[in-house]
Amino acid sequence: MNSVEYARMYEAEEGQWWYAGMRAISLALLASHLAPRKLAFLDAGCGTGVNLEHLGRLGSAFGVDISEDAIAFCRGRGVSVARGSVLELPVKSAAVDGVTSFDVLYHRWVTDDLAAVREMARVLRPGGLLLIRVPALKLLWGAHDEEVHSRHRYTRGELEALLAGAGMTLLRSSYANFFLFPVLLARRSLDRMLGRHGSDVGFLPEPLESVFRCLLRAEAWLIGHGVSLPVGASVFALARKP
């Protein structure tokens, strides 16, 4: 991504509605399948590191990212991080209990997404969990995708097929950002019509921030209680290594 995009992420990741809501969904999915003990997590493509702080509350957490900008922000947060690619993780085989990867596989520099998922599976211990989130649905392609160097937006079936191809056992999958999907579709369609450029990362005026955050927390509750949403702007999948 562009260097300025990492700075935007660093400012927004803790409290902005989308980041806070996506994190709530991620933790709800993990909580329903975690063992009752301290676990070791790897965040593959950790960005500016705020998810490492939250994962660290479940045990220990370590991040890998290819970007020097991302690593600098992670070190500013005081989280553990190393430089590396999701196509060649600098981690021993069967070394961690859980791997997360949030909005990484879709990037243009990930030239083989199946190889990346297989690499994440490699570092998992038997019985370990892999949680992946990617942007969903080509019809939502817009200015933000160009800004963050997107390669692809996925369907739920495509993400499930990647996990199966890596030998993982699917536990759950769901779209997310379901309640706001009509708004997002209208926004992206308008972007294409008007030729708008630029990132979507940033804070909205109140009370929109609070309303949107509450809607995603409601989705987190639903997904955490076994509901799979039929459409959305993101897609999650949770799988276990046999």
The Cα 230–Cα 242 span in angstroms is: 27
Rounded CA-CA distance 9/34 in Å is: 28
User: Which two structure tokens, joined as six digits, stand for 237?
Assistant: 């999948």
> How far is 185 from 221, CA to CA, in rounded Å?
23
Q: E strands, the chain, where?
A: 39-44, 59-65, 81-83, 96-102, 124-135, 169-176, 234-240
Structural domain tally of the chain? 1
> Please, what is the Cα angle at 22 between 20 and 27, to 5 degrees?
95
Cis omega (within 30 of 0) for bond into 205: no
Could you give the angle at the alpha carbon of 26 between the alpha carbons of 97 and 237, nearest 5°? 75
3-state secondary structure of 104: coil
Strand pairing partners for 101? 132
- Dihedral in degrees, nearest 10, Cα atoms 9, 10, 16, 18: 40
CATH value at residue 178: 3.40.50.150
Report DSSP state, residue 167: T
Largest Cα–Cα separation, the chain: 52
* Under 8 Å between Cβ of 230 and 177: no
Q: Give the 3-state secondary structure of residue 184.
A: helix
What residues make up the domain containing 201?
A: 3-240
Q: Which residues contact 113 (CB under 8 A, 6 or more apart)?
A: 105, 152, 162
Which bin fits 123, alpha (ψ -120 to 50), beta or left (φ > 0)?
A: alpha
Radius of gyration of the chain, Cα coordinates, nearest whole angstrom: 17
Report the Cα–Cα distance between both ends of the chain, in Å, rounded: 34
Q: What is the tens place of the pLDDT at every residue in 175-209?
A: 999 999 999 999 888 877 877 776 777 789 999 99
pTM of the model: 0.95
- The one-digit pLDDT tens for each residue of the chain (242 residues) are 667 888 888 898 999 999 999 999 999 999 989 988 899 999 999 999 999 999 999 999 999 999 999 999 999 999 999 999 999 999 999 999 999 999 999 999 999 999 999 999 999 999 999 999 999 999 999 877 887 888 999 999 999 999 999 999 999 999 999 999 999 999 888 877 877 776 777 789 999 999 999 999 999 999 999 999 999 999 999 999 99
